[in-house]
Amino acid sequence: MRRWIPLAVVVALGAFLYLGLYLNPKEVPSPLVGHTAPDFTLPVVGRPGETFSPADVRGEVWLLNIWAPWCSICLKEHRVFRDLIGDDVPVYGLTWKDLDREAAPLLARNGSPYVKAVDDVDGRVAIRYGVTVTPETFVIDHQGVIRMKHVGPITPQVWEQKFRPVLRGLRP
C-alpha cells in the first residue's frame, strides 16, 4: 500500500495544477475592498493651514490616488487625470513621502490634476491603505467604502475597462 503514496501525491498535485490553469494569479485583491476607507486628517499641499479628511467628501464618489513627486510614472498619469478623468469624478491625491518638499512647486508648475492633494510626508497613512507601490488608486463610494483598488498607472484603456464599469454601478 505504501508504494502507492507517491502516485496519490502526484494525482492530488495534478488536480491543483489543473485548477490553477483557470485562475489568475496576478490578481491579489486588497483586503480593504468592501471596507470603510481608513480615516485621516492631513495638510493640503500648497495651501498652508488647510487640511483634508475623507469625512469632508462623504456622500460623493471619489478617487484617492497615491503618488510621489519623484515617481515619473505618476507624473505621466497626471496627464490622464487632467485630460480624461477630472470631469468625470473628483480625484484626490495622497502625496507619499515627499521628503524633499517638491510636490507643491511641481503641482503649481504643471497644473494640479487633483481637487486637493494631501501631504503624507512620513507615509503613515499610505501604510494604512496597504500601499506597496506608486501609483495606486482607490475608488471610494458615497458611504466612504472602498469599492476598488488599482495598482499601477491608469491608462485610457484601464480607465475604460476597469474603472468605468465600477463607477457606472455606483451612480444612482
- Residue from 72, 87, 157, 168 touching other proteins (CB under 8 A): that is 72
Question: Would you count residue 11 as binding other proteins (CB under 8 A)?
Answer: yes
At residue 49, what are phi and psi to the nearest 5 degrees? 90, -20
Least distance to other proteins, CB of residue 10, Å = 5
Which of 73, 77, 111, 71 minimizes the C-alpha distance to 95?
71
Least distance to other proteins, CB of residue 99, Å = 9
Question: Would you count residue 25 as binding other proteins (CB under 8 A)?
Answer: yes
Provide the residue type at 123 as one letter: G
Judged by CB under 8 A, how many residues of this single chain contact other proteins? 27
Contacting other proteins within 27-56 (CB under 8 A): 27-29
Least distance to other proteins, CB of residue 72, Å = 4
**CA–CA gap between residue 45 and residue 51 (Å, rounded):** 9
Helix (H, G, I), strand (E, B) or coil at 57: helix
Question: Would you count residue 18 as binding other proteins (CB under 8 A)?
Answer: yes
CA distances to 2, 22, 28 from 25, rounded to whole Å, are 34, 10, 7
Task: Supply the DSSP symbol for 30.
Answer: -
Question: Would you count residue 171 as binding other proteins (CB under 8 A)?
Answer: no
Least distance to other proteins, CB of residue 28, Å = 5
Which range of residues in 39-47, 63-71, 123-131, 141-149 is near other proteins by CB under 8 A?
Answer: 63-71
Provide the residue type at 93 as one letter: G
Place of cell 517638491: 102
Least distance to other proteins, CB of residue 165, Å = 21
**CA–CA gap between residue 136 and residue 113 (Å, rounded):** 15
- Residues within the interface to other proteins (CB under 8 A): 3-4, 6-7, 10-11, 13-14, 16-23, 25-29, 69-72, 100, 102
